[in-house]
Structure 1
Amino acid sequence: MRDTSGTTTSTKRAAHRFSRLSVVIAMSASALLSVVGPAHAVTAKDPLPADIPDYQAALNAVKSTDVRNAVCRFLRTPVPSGGGVGGPVETIPETAEPCQGLPVFTIKDPLARNEIAPGFVEGTVQPLPTEAVKLTQLVSSLSTTVNGRNATVMLAPTRGGGWHLAAVRDGDVDAVYAGKATAGTLVFTEPQIRGWYQLKLTTVEPLNDQARQGLGGQSAVSLGDYQKLVKARYADKLPGTDYDTKGYSSGYGLQSRADDAWPSTLLLAGGSGSALALAGGAVLLRRRRSARTH
C-alpha cells in the first residue's frame, strides 16, 4: 500500500495557510468597509457608524450647550498671529450668552480622525489596514462660516466610554479630509508632516501636498512601502523617545486624557501656534510655542 501520510500532512498545512489568509483578507475588508462617510443626520433607519464606539455619546456632545458655548467663545476671541514663548496673556470677559449676536450655525455630526498607529510606525506589526491606522479623535466642523471664520470641534475618548470636548481649532481641514472616506477606503493623517492619505485596500494615495512630498512625489505606494517610509522618519520619535519628551512630537498615541467628566481646563487650539484656554469661567488668551512639524 502506498504511504499517503506525507500528502495528507501537506494538504493540512496548505489548508491551514489558506485559512489564515482568509482571516487576514476578511479582517482587512472589514476594516475598509466600516469607514465613516460624510456627516449626516442619524435616524431610526440610518444606524450609527459601527466603527466609532459610543457614537451616540459623540452626537450628544457636539449638540450640547457646553460645546456650542465653547465654540462661540472661540469665535468671539481673536487669535494672535505668530508663535513665541512668554507672550502677553489677555483676560477675556466672561459672557453669560456667548453665542448671542453671532450668526446662526450648527455643528455637524462627528467624523473619525485616524492616525498612523505606533506599532505600524515602529515596524512591529504587519502592513495591514487593521494594523496601520487607529482612531484617535472625532472631528466636527461648522455648518457655515461665522464672520468669515470656521472652526473644528475635536472630541477625545473618555475613560469608561463616551467622548468629551478636547479642543476647538481654527479652520476645518481635519473635518474636510476625514469626510473624504468612502465605502471601501480609509482616510488617515500623518500628523508630523500634516499629510493626509487615502488607503484603498493596501494602496496608499496622497490627498494633499504634504502627503505627496511624504511619498517622494509618487502618486501611490503599497502599504508595505509606506510603512518603510514612516519607520525611517519616525521610529526614533515615538512616545517615550527624546524627541517626544522634549515636546517636538505631534504624537502617535491616543489622547492621554481620559477623565469621566468634562475637562476643567479646555484647550482651544488656534492658528499659528496660538491657543485659548477656558479656565475657571474666565477665558485666557495666550501665545505658546508652535509645535514642531519635523
Structure 2
Amino acid sequence: MRDTSNTSNTRTAAKRASSRSSRLSIVLALSASALLSVLGPAHAAPARDPLPVDIPDYQAALEAVKSTAVRDAVCRFLRTPLPTGAAGTDGPVQTIPEMAEPCQGLPTFTIKDPLALNEITPGFVAGTARPLPTEAIKLTQLVSSLSTTVNGRTATVMLAPTQGGGWHLAAVRDGDSDASYAGMAAVGTLVFTEPQIRGWYQLKLNTVEPLNDHARQGLNGQASVSLADYQQLVKARYADKLPGSEYDTNGYSSGSGTQRDADGTPASTPLLAGGFGAALALAGGAFVLRRRRRAHTG
C-alpha cells in the first residue's frame, strides 16, 4: 500500500514554496517600481556622460542658438559673399547691410545644439599649471553648426559667455570644422583645440592623441603623448607668446586677446584666430565680415 501521507506532505511543501516565490517576485517588482518612481527621469542613465568641463547655463545657450536674432545673423552671413584676401593677410572688411527678412528665400535649415569648445589654458602653456585635465583645459566658447549646407555653404555659430551668466552671439564663422571636431568627444574623453596651429586633440585620462594633421605635426608625428609631455611642447611653442607679449599685441594670439577692428580699436567680442575662414563679427554693435589673418606659431 502506498504511503499517501508522504506524497501529500511533499505536495503541500511544494505549494508553499511556490507561494513564497510568487510573493517574493511581487515584492521585488513593487520595490523596483517604487525605486524608479523615486528616481524619476532626471536620474535615468544619460545617453552620454557629461564632459569633464561642464557647460554652465546650457539652457540659455540652447535658447540663444534657437533665437530669431541668431538665425537672422546666420542668414545675413550666408547672403553676403565672402571677402577675398591673400593667404596670411587681412582681406577687406565688409559691412553687412540690414535686411528686413534676411532668411526669406533661403533653403530651410536649423542650428544644432551647442557643443563645448575647449582650449589649452595660459597657465598650462606657461608651465605654472599642473598637467591635469582640470588645469590644462578650459571651456572658452560654444559652437553650433547648421543642419545642412545652404547654397553650398556651411557656417558655425559661436557663442561667448555673458558677464553675469548666460551666453551671447560672438560670431558666425564660415565652415563647420570646429563643431565637427567638438562633436567627437565621447564618454571618458575630452576634445580640445590648440588654436594657434588649428590643431585638434583628444584627451583620454592623461594621454593626448591628435585628431587632425595639424595636431599630428604639433606632436612631432607621434601617435600619442602624455599630458605632461604635451605641456612641454606647447610651452616651447608659446611661452613667449602669452597675453601682453608682442605676439599677442600683434593680434596673433588665440582667444587671449581681443580681435581688433580696422582702426585698431578692440572689437566688442573676441574671436578665435587661425585658419583662413571668414567670420561675421560683432564689432562696435555692427556686423562686419572679415577674412581673418592666419595664425603663426613663431
State whether TM-score is above 0.5.
yes
Paired AA for residue 62 in structure 1 = V
CA distance in 1, matches of 2:128, 2:238: 13
Which residue does 1:227 correspond to in 2? 231
Counterpart of 1:133 in structure 2 is: 137
1:61 is displaced (CA, Å) by: 0.2
Partner residue, 1:210: 214
Deviates more, 1:43-52 or 1:233-242: 43-52
- Rounded to whole Å, the distance in 1 between the matches of 2:285 and 2:119 is 33
How do 1:244-263 and structure 2 match up within 5 A? Answer: 244-252=248-256
Q: 1:241 to 1:99 in 2, by over 3 A?
A: same
Aligned amino acid, residue 58 of structure 2: Y
| Aligned equivalent of 1:55, options 25, 43, 58 | 58
8 Å CA contact 1:239, 1:251 repeated in 2: no
Change (3 A) 1:69 1:120: same
Query: In structure 2, how many angstroms separate the alpha carbons of the residues matched to 1:200 and 1:165?
Result: 31
Say which SS state the counterpart of residue 113 (structure 2) adopts: coil
TM-score when normalising by structure 1: 0.74
Structure ranking higher on relative contact order (CA contacts 8 Å, 6+ apart): 1
Task: After TM superposition, list the pairs within 5 Å mapping 1:1-294 onto structure 2.
Answer: 51-83=54-86, 84=89, 87=92, 90=94, 92-252=96-256, 272=276, 274-277=278-281, 284-285=288-289, 287=290, 290-294=293-297
> Which protein is bigger by CA-based radius of gyration?
2
Q: Aligned residue for 1:22?
A: none
Looking at structure 2, the residues matched to 177 and 273 of structure 1 have their Cα atoms a distance apart, in angstroms, of: 16
C-alpha distance in 2 between matches for 1:166 and 1:153? 8
Runs of at least 5 residues in structure 2 that lack an aligned partner in the other structure: 1-40, 260-266
**C-alpha displacement of 1:77:** 0.5
- How far the C-alpha of 1:91 sits from its partner, in A, is 5.1
In 2, Cα distance between the equivalents of 1:236 and 1:268? 21
Q: Quick check: 1:205–1:220 contact (8 Å CA) kept in 2?
A: yes
| 1:245 CA drift (Å) | 1.3
Q: Deviations over 1:49-84 (max 9, x none)?
A: 581100000000000000000000000101022244
Provide Cα deviations, 1:85-128, integer angstroms capped at 9, x if missing partner: 574x5555422110000000000000000000111111112111
Distance 1:73 1:240, change over 3 A: same
Distance 1:279 1:213 in 2: 34
How has the CA–CA distance of structure 1 residues 274 and 124 changed in structure 2, closer, same or farther, with 3 Å as cutoff? same
TM-score normalised by structure 2 residue count: 0.73
Once the two structures are overlaid, the 10-residue window that deviates more, 169-178 or 272-281, is 272-281
Q: CA deviation at 1:240?
A: 1.4
Q: Distance in 2 between matches of 1:138 and 1:201?
A: 23
Q: Give the letter for the 2:135 counterpart.
A: E
Given the superposition, is the C-alpha separation of residues 112 and 103 from structure 1 closer, same or farther in structure 2, using an over 3 Å criterion?
same
- AA paired with 2:224? A
> How far did residue 291 of structure 1 move?
3.7
Q: Provide the aligned length of Structure 1 versus Structure 2.
A: 242
Unmatched runs of 5 consecutive residues or more in structure 1: 1-42, 257-263
8 Å contact 1:269–1:276 — kept in the other structure? no
Query: Percent same amino acid at aligned positions?
Result: 76
Q: Residues of 1 paired with 2:119 and 2:144: CA distance?
A: 16
